[in-house]
Structure 1
Amino acid sequence: MKKLLGKSLIISIFCLFIAPGIHSQDSVPLVDDVYLNFKNQDQHAQRFSYFFGSPNRYKQNSAYDWLDSVNQYLNEAIKDKDSMAIKHYMLMQSQVYYDLGDYDKSLAISSELYDEKDQLELDFKAKLLGLMDSTYSQLALYAEQIDIRKEKKDLGLTEDIAFYDIYSNLGLHRKAMKDYIIEVRKTFPDDDEFSQAKYHNNIGNYLRLDNSPSVALNKYKEAKGHLTVYLNNITVVKSESELISANSLMGVIDGNIGKCYSQLGQYEVAIPFLESSIQQISENSKGKYSSDIVENTLEIANCYLRLENYEKAVEYLSSDLSLTKTAHILKRNRLLSSYYDKTGDYQNSAAYLKRNMRIRDSIDVNESELRTQQLATVMGRDLANTQAMFEEQKKNLELQRLEMTAQDEKINLVFISLVFTLMGFAGLVYAYLKSIKNQRLIAEQKYIIENSLKEKDSLLKEIHHRVKNNLQMVSSLLSLQTKNTRSKAAIVALEEGKSRVKAMALIHQKLYQNDDLSVIEMQGYIESLINSVQSVYKKGGHNINITIDAEGVELDIDRAIPFGLILNELVSNTFKYAFPHDEENGKIYIHIRKQNGQEGFFEYTDNGVGLPDDTDERAQASMGIRLMNRLANQLQTNLNVDKTSEGVRYWFNFK
């Protein structure tokens, strides 16, 4: 202790001579030890500010060391009956428990402070509400989380109440992504590389969780590119906190890329990204519980199991992981069961399976009902928030209208005073009354039209829903017929028919899910169509890199159905014939562009084995080619085919 004090004194004298104008707030010498600097602060307010201002506070000392010190200071404050110091140390204590992953204890302490929120300063409230927001999210208490966000908005700490992350936690990843894009993209400029990285990483998360790993992978790579530019930009001075956040985000992105490769079955490619992620997150979040580290560790074990490297797999499964989430416990038990099964220890394999069955039995009873209740509560709060925003906008518009009306009345009075004739006054009164009458008539007609449109939209959605259900029934009948058919040619024909029926059913599904019943958003439709085709033609389908360039293109149903059937035929042919040896470098590129007032353009290419020499003769006998030509005729165009050096290219223009 004396050596440390001596070293602190030397550093203080050195700083006094070389920088006489620089002094800390309480003249406390700072050394390269966050924990020691924290303890050297004289007052609880300085310790409070230093604690929350230290981005990597567990760099030298563990969170348990910090907890011991905070508990000691808290006991002293209780003994001295210093109410403000007690609150400061309690919030620090709650934060440490959160960093350790003990969310129940963290919430219990935060809730006690929250009961005295009216006596707290705004900065203290901001930290408390932010911590409670994160804790409620970890505990899946979404209704309470929304209440906290509403209070943050009322205090002016945030502009609006966000729901997209909660929707994602409840499994509605596509809706979460749409809301996230609408609410977040407008909040930062195009040259903000760090915000761009976070934005694209989150979109990638929604796509990956929605089982679109190939599309998500592109988003993660885009996020990594933005973050690399940010870190390499030496013209922008970055604080220690900003560098830690950026490096932590880089680790998270690497982990997400690894998970995508694992989903795509490329386990050897996935492992280096997952290992890099664990290292980066650990270095920049020392002492804090990280769900990403747990997920990536379990995913590495899964990859090694798939690669039959059981020694490495069990090494990662045996690591010291704090499994606080039920999903992590279930996954670890499942992987251990698989490991013991593959190594011949069937007794242990069965034991871990039974553990999972006991856990699932304990949560399955109420999980569905609880999830439904949470979803209903969140959607109700979302609707109430939307209505509140609408009412606020309505009030603002009404105030503007009243101001404009008042201004118009003043102008009318001035005009009347200038003209001051009985006929002119009578004419103005008549025109005013007539205007009010017309406005009422217009408002009534508008109300009738809006109700009629709503009713028609509901009927159209119901029609599309029933059509989709009927087409699914047809698809099921074809599946039954396939099981009862021995002829290989008949089975192939039935499977092709089933795939075509699914393509049409998907159109009607997209229509009744959309707010706009007149058009189909082609990017999402094509992604869903390809996933559907992949489920039929599994061989080689998951090794093909598929690029879809149809963002922002919308087509009506009369054109979307021919497009869907043509794409179904092209993708099916690629999966069946283009890559006979299941190459891993297979590529498909789909491009659709439609500009206002101009012709659209469609292009489909793959780098497979290409078309055979007798393609023209086969075209007369192939139902698929004849079907595509007829569908092209429906689009008032001709399907063009180019044989390239690698693969084949189909293209046409359309109106």
Structure 2
Amino acid sequence: MKLFLKTSIIALITVFCHASWGQAIQDDEISVLNQFQDAPNSGERFDIFFNSMDRYNVNSAYDWLDTIKIYLSNSQTTNDSIALGQYKMMQAQIYNDLGDYDKSIALAKELYAAKDSMNRTSIKIVLDVLDDNYANLQLYDKQIEIRKEKREIGITENVAFYDIYSNLGLHRKARNQYIMEVKPTIADNDSYGLAEYHSKVGNYLRLDNSAPTAMSELKKAKAYLDVFINDISKEKTEQQLFDADLLKAEIEGNIGKCHVLLGEYEEAIPLLESSIEVLKSSPSNGHQSEVIENTLNLADANLQLEQFRDAKKSLDIEFDNINALQDIKRNSLLAAFYDRVENYQNAATYYKRNERIKDSLNQKQSSLIKQQLVTIVANEDLENSQRLIDEQKRINELARSEMKAKDERINLVFISLIFTLLGFAGLVYAYLKSIKNQRLIAEQKHIIENALVEKDSLLKEIHHRVKNNLQMVSSLLSLQTKNTRSKSAIEALEEGKSRVKAMALIHQKLYQNDDLSVIEMQGYIESLINSVQSVYKKGGHNISITIDAEGTELDIDRAIPFGLILNELVSNSFKYAFPENDENGKIYIHLRKNGEQGYFEYTDNGVGLPEDTEERTHSSMGIRLMNRLVNQLQSKLNIDKAGEGVRFWFNFS
């Protein structure tokens, strides 16, 4: 009976809290905590908690902590050990997010003691929480032990130290190890991986006070990230886009900090502000620390520009989990602010506060940590070196044994071998030379293949940018059309817009193709006709269009004039060929290319050309344009207006 009452009370409290929080949430933003509470079981709640991009979007970490405590109590009451472990993992992560690292470590250690009953995903989460807690507490020896544990149980293959080196101020060593370990693992076409790589290298350079070089690396990172974001050929998940936004904000924030180091304060401010705004949405402690750093640099930039109100606004923000070095920097900026506004009493207060903080930092303990870390890393390097030495010894011993046996065999057959020694030496020399040549050929082939891949990638990017620029021109023509009242001017702008779209389609087809040298014309003609129909919304939709160009491919030098010619012909058919009714309208397009010779024919069954076609040839821009384009194809445009409709044709090479 008591158990039933206790369970009922907990359930009522849960429902009440759910209702209260639900009323407080705005309609335009979905609360992850509400989704968490609506989940039917602990397993789904576990997935929502650890897979959500921004679990604190509406509710704070304290709201989450209160809710999870209720579920934890309920699990204890029902003796659900699996749910109990899952809720404790969530608690450990929340304590880590709140900066209560001791509680987080205690919970994570308790969970890891029962690792035999945990799956691989849960073990990784617990070890990651411990790793992050030890990093924040500067217990780097413990952090390395956790990373070794990850390697031993197969979660990671290598133990990385570069972030620990950086935390100790050894930024150059961190950069060198990061380049050595990470660069070989990134593919040439992995634009997001390259963006992360150059961002990290640039940040290590910035921390090492190499701001100009850091700026160059960070701009490379931003360029690679732009390629990733703008690559429409690859679908991206919501999580990938969220991560890309965070990485972009991180890069822009670091570029802004480089501007501050270089004294370029006006350039720094907008970058730091936009970075802070985006990084606030991340639940990661690393990003929250970046928010603090960016805010302090923003205050510094405003202070240098004597924008005292904006500087003080940034310095008055109260941050959780601000570390001692950040606190010292904040106090220094506050003291400088009060110096500038001639409030010397407050300035002195912050100078004294900094002195107290510095005195409280135990330098001996810091030195001990560094010494302990260096010893551990040295031991790790020694272990790796010893393994290499032992392996080399084994290989050398094997080689000696084989050589000894070979010497014995050589002695036995020395007389017979002496007669063939010169010939054998010649064969060995030729063989070694052949291997060397093959190796050189393979290396050159690899270099050429990489160069071709890079060239194709650059060409696709160029065609993509040209297409985007042509689309921008088309948009500008559309805007001009809306601001123009003259009917003839509007028609001229629409025609120009249609021609620009025809050229843009060529470049779109090129960067979508694997082969950048030719365009498959059947698909291009279909896309072009759809584009023209979108311009002439009131006509052309009931016309029967037959396209006979299957298997025909043209290079870009022929495809562009051909596309413009076809654009003129289809536009004229839509506008003039069927003035009364286009239900029985027919258009036939024929294109063939056999070897060096090609043939094009276009017919419609409309009203045909007017009687004064010959006179209008010299005044009509469309016909003059087609004649010039056909001349580019080294041919002559033929027009047949006898019979029903009209027929255009020409041969080309």
TM range (shorter): 0.5 to 0.7
Deviation at 1:427, TM superposition (A): 13
Counterparts of 1:196 and 1:91, CA distance in 2 = 33
1:262 aligns to 2:241 (yes or no) = no
* Residues 95 and 103, structure 2, Cα contact 8 Å, conserved in 1: yes
1:293 aligns to 2:288 (yes or no) = no
* Count of aligned positions: 394
Report the counterpart of residue 385 of structure 1 in structure 2: 380
Counterparts of 2:261 and 2:285, CA distance in 1 = 30
Report the counterpart of residue 244 of structure 1 in structure 2: 242
* Residues 279 and 287, structure 2, Cα contact 8 Å, conserved in 1: no
Alpha-carbon distance change, 286 to 107 in structure 1, aligned in 2, over 3 angstroms: closer
Report the counterpart of residue 122 of structure 1 in structure 2: 120
Equivalent residue for 1:375, pick from 370, 375, 383? 370
Counterparts of 1:80 and 1:289, CA distance in 2 = 38
Report the counterpart of residue 253 of structure 1 in structure 2: 251
**Secondary structure class of the residue paired with 2:177:** helix
1:51 aligns to 2:46 (yes or no) = no
**Secondary structure class of the residue paired with 1:290:** helix
Counterparts of 1:423 and 1:407, CA distance in 2 = 16
Equivalent residue for 1:356, pick from 339, 354, 357? 354
* Residues 292 and 322, structure 2, Cα contact 8 Å, conserved in 1: no
Deviation at 1:339, TM superposition (A): 1.4
> For 1:306-325, what aligned pairs fall within 5 Å after superposition?
306-325=304-323
CA distances 1:249-272 after superposition (whole Å, capped 9, x unpaired): 111111101111001111111101
Alpha-carbon distance change, 425 to 46 in structure 1, aligned in 2, over 3 angstroms: farther
One-letter amino acid matched to 1:124:
S
**Secondary structure class of the residue paired with 2:57:** coil
**Secondary structure class of the residue paired with 1:87:** helix
Deviation at 1:180, TM superposition (A): 0.9
Report the counterpart of residue 438 of structure 2 in structure 1: none
Counterparts of 1:240 and 1:343, CA distance in 2 = 47
Deviates more, 1:320-329 or 1:354-363: 320-329
Question: Which stretches in structure 1 are left out of the alignment for 5+ residues?
Answer: 6-30, 417-421, 429-655
* Residues 248 and 285, structure 1, Cα contact 8 Å, conserved in 2: no
Counterparts of 1:88 and 1:188, CA distance in 2 = 35
Report the counterpart of residue 151 of structure 1 in structure 2: 149
Question: Which stretches in structure 2 are left out of the alignment for 5+ residues?
Answer: 1-14, 20-28, 418-653
Q: TM-score, normalised by structure 1?
A: 0.55
Alpha-carbon distance change, 102 to 379 in structure 1, aligned in 2, over 3 angstroms: same
* Residues 62 and 287, structure 1, Cα contact 8 Å, conserved in 2: no
1:135 aligns to 2:133 (yes or no) = yes
* Residues 301 and 316, structure 1, Cα contact 8 Å, conserved in 2: yes
1:91 aligns to 2:117 (yes or no) = no
* Residues 97 and 105, structure 1, Cα contact 8 Å, conserved in 2: yes
* Residues 247 and 284, structure 1, Cα contact 8 Å, conserved in 2: no
Counterparts of 1:225 and 1:410, CA distance in 2 = 60
* Residues 58 and 288, structure 1, Cα contact 8 Å, conserved in 2: no
Deviation at 1:153, TM superposition (A): 0.5
Q: Which has the larger radius of gyration?
A: 2
- Please, what is the CA RMSD of the aligned residues? 3.3
Equivalent residue for 2:63, pick from 65, 74, 97? 65
CA distances 1:294-340 after superposition (whole Å, capped 9, x unpaired): 11111111111111111111111112322531112111111111112
Report the counterpart of residue 493 of structure 2 in structure 1: none
CA distances 1:216-273 after superposition (whole Å, capped 9, x unpaired): 1111111111111111112222222221111111111111011110011111111011
Deviation at 1:211, TM superposition (A): 1.1
Deviation at 1:396, TM superposition (A): 5.1
* Residues 299 and 314, structure 2, Cα contact 8 Å, conserved in 1: yes
Deviation at 1:210, TM superposition (A): 1.1
Equivalent residue for 2:276, pick from 262, 273, 278? 278
One-letter amino acid matched to 1:326:
A
> For 1:151-550, what aligned pairs fall within 5 Å after superposition?
151-285=149-283, 290-363=288-361, 366-367=362-363, 369-394=364-389
Counterparts of 1:324 and 1:304, CA distance in 2 = 21
Deviation at 1:424, TM superposition (A): 6.4
Q: TM-score, normalised by structure 2?
A: 0.56
Report the counterpart of residue 610 of structure 1 in structure 2: none
One-letter amino acid matched to 2:260:
S
One-letter amino acid matched to 1:305:
L
Counterparts of 1:94 and 1:140, CA distance in 2 = 18
* Residues 302 and 335, structure 1, Cα contact 8 Å, conserved in 2: yes
**Secondary structure class of the residue paired with 2:256:** helix
* Residues 140 and 369, structure 2, Cα contact 8 Å, conserved in 1: yes
> For 1:601-640, what aligned pairs fall within 5 Å after superposition?
none
Counterparts of 1:337 and 1:404, CA distance in 2 = 70
CA distances 1:265-295 after superposition (whole Å, capped 9, x unpaired): 1111110110010112124549997011111
